[in-house]
Amino acid sequence: MKILFIILRLLLGGFMIYGGIQKFQKPIPSPIEVVETAEKFKSPEKESTLQKILYISGSKQTGYFWQVLGICELLFGLLLVLQGTGFVGALFLLPITLHIFLFHLFLESDEMGELLQTGGLFAINILLVLKERSKWKHLLWMKPT
């Protein structure tokens, strides 16, 4: 069982490190380029694609959010891969994996493969946090003094 959790940590950590690196691979498009790209998807049958383009482009246009997300994915993925910091990495990654899963659930629900992949990553993250519940359970169920 211990080996299974090590494999799950490495899998989730690897995905997060890869995703973090990918955030810095392409230059951020200018607002004009975003508008030009969005114009191509104005028809009602392409509304789903337009929503994804506008959401991701908006995150990039803030000038910080896309980069902060990439840094967090890299850092927390590394924490997860390292032996002594795996629990902290899993805990910090929980809102990020939830966000990724919800993005795919609401904006790419027709992509069953990606939905299963991101749902699986979120489930792995939950398992990794629950495995260490003895470390944080007392924070939720405090006894009155």
Contact between 21 and 72 under an 8 Å Cβ cutoff? The reply is no
Quick one: CA dihedral 110, 52, 124, 142, positive or negative? Answer: negative
94 CB-near residues (< 8 Å, 6+ apart): 125, 126, 129
User: pLDDT tens-digit profile of 116-133?
Assistant: 999 999 999 999 999 998
User: pLDDT tens-digit profile of 73-113?
Assistant: 999 999 999 989 999 999 999 999 999 999 999 999 889 99
Taking CA atoms, 72 is separated from 97, 126, 131, in Å, by 11, 18, 22
The shares of helix, strand and coil residues in the chain, as percent rounded to the nearest 5, are 80, 0, 20
- Token pair of 53, please? 């383009």
pTM listed for this prediction: 0.88
User: pLDDT tens-digit profile of 45-76?
Assistant: 888 889 999 999 999 999 999 999 999 999 99
- Among all chains, which residue has been given the structure tokens 């946090």? 129
